[in-house]
Amino acid sequence: MPDTSLLAIALGLLYLGSAACIYRILLTYRTTQGAIAWIISLLGLPYLAVPLFLVFGRSRFGGYVKARRMGDKTLTALLNRFERKSTSLSLPDQQQLDNQLQVLCKLGRQPFTEGNRCTLLRDGEATFEALIKAMEQATSYILLEFYIVRSDKIGQRIKSILEHKLSEGVQVWFLYDDIGSFGLSRIYLRELEKAGARVASFGDGDIRRLRFQINFRNHRKLLVCDGKIGFVGGINLGDEYLGTAMDQEPWRDTHCRIEGPAVTGLQLAWLENWNWASNEFPVLDWSPEHRLPGDERVLVLPTGPADTWETCTLFFLNCINNARTRLWIASPYFVPDVQIVNALQLASLRGVDVRIIIPEKSDSRLVRLAAYSYLIQASHAGIGIYRYQPGFMHQKVVLVDNHYAAVGTANLDNRSMRLNFEITAINTSERFVSEVDAMLREDLAHCRRMTEQDYQGRSIVFRLTCRAVRLLAPLL
């Protein structure tokens, strides 16, 4: 028979841990629904809720915030220098941007710049061709930051190019996410390091940063070569984007190649994450371009759980609330919270053409089921939800009126809004907006518009399952 005194001590420690978790929730919660759910669980089932909270519960990335403050002087100096560039359109004494664009500058702590040229890359083949060409032409350094890196054919080709450039004296900094790249071979990383690359994982950092957390992922996908050419979008380093992985259909995704001063914004976002992961500030090229490659206005908007505000949520709300004629959003994961749903409904009710493009085939059955639960609210407001039919659509694209288009890594789900580090490039160029318009129209031609009957016509078991899965939205 167990010792009752030991059992009492164990229970006391358990409830003490539960109380500590509740204390943290009350100090840091962002949504009342999530806070109440956690508190009820911690009081009623502490033996389950305490360990779950340690893994999933935190909503603020405290360690990153501290690292940001420690490096803030250096980063602030670089940001100030960036804003003083002659290409900046976001200085206080300038009136070249309307209010909704000025707000985005404040959210991202970065300026809109002019003199850029962006190339829309509409699939994995075009993206990898452009990435590889840029890396092969690099003469000084290559910065990589990807959520998923695989040691498959594409991954091996990228590694081979990096090793070759290292042998030529080009510096390489390689940042990956340890959860997203869970299956990445240790041999792959060791060989890169042996060739001279600096390699860091976003998740572990040094021993002081070890934690029982799988949240706060670095979901960004970017590449910078020599501070002059940059890439951002939804494509990771893996064969699935070419359809060569296990006879899989190609993933439909979008990336963007950027030349010009906006590349500095990508480089700054990379530097902050690299500093967190390695405690290093590499010496990079921050000089403005003397000969500007184009005439496009571009803002790089980094977002993440260490921000003062819920930057990603505010970005989407800004897009939705300021749309006047149309709002088209492509996202592989559609599990929005109440405020996003309400904003979408209001936009549609005031006459905006609201279309949400999501995949028919998904890599997450739970997310696919949850999307059905929004059909009633969407159809009653006139919101069009379209399911892309061929392959798996993984792009993250926003088109607001004919005003601007955004290509990046952020999804319409809780993880992107509150837990992941994301990055988006926003472009106001008429040419670029027109290209995104044509691309999304082609995608819509391969879509099926969902109706209320897609949900109401299914069995009660299916509908209950969809509603139950939606309760898991904060974790999806």
Active site residues: 219, 221, 226, 394, 396, 401
Mapped onto helix, strand or coil, the DSSP state of residue 28 is helix
Q: Where are the beta strands (DSSP E) in 227-361?
A: 229-233, 251-252, 255-259, 296-303, 326-330, 334-335, 353-359
Rounded CA separation 171/174 (Å): 10
| Half-sphere exposure (Cβ direction) of 70: Cα atoms closer than 13 Å | 13
Report how far Cα 85 is from the mean position of its chain's Cα atoms: 27
Contact 216, 421 (CB under 8 A): yes
How many residues are present in the chain? 476
Whether residue 379 contacts residue 454, with contact meaning beta carbons closer than 8 Å, is answered with no
Q: Supply 336's token pair.
A: 């929005």
d(CA 365, CA 374): 16
Residues 112 and 101 sit within 8 Å (Cβ to Cβ): yes
User: Of 222, 196, 213, which is closest to residue 274 (Cα–Cα)?
Assistant: 222
From CA 367, how far away is CA 364, in angstroms rounded? 5
DSSP reduced 3-state for 305: coil
Residues 6+ positions from 58 with CB-CB distance below 8 Å: 24, 28, 213, 215, 216
Burial (Cβ within 10 Å: 0-12, 13-18, ≥19) of residue 168:
exposed
Phi, psi of 330 (to 5 degrees): -110, 125
Query: What CA–CA distance (Å, rounded) separates 399 from 327?
Result: 6
The answer to whether 256 and 121 are in contact (CB under 8 A) is yes
DSSP string, 29-95: -S-HHHHHHHHHHHHH-HHHHHHHIIIII--S-HHHHHHHHHTHHHHHHHHHHHHTSTTB---TT--
Alpha-carbon distance of 347 to 166, in angstroms, equals 51
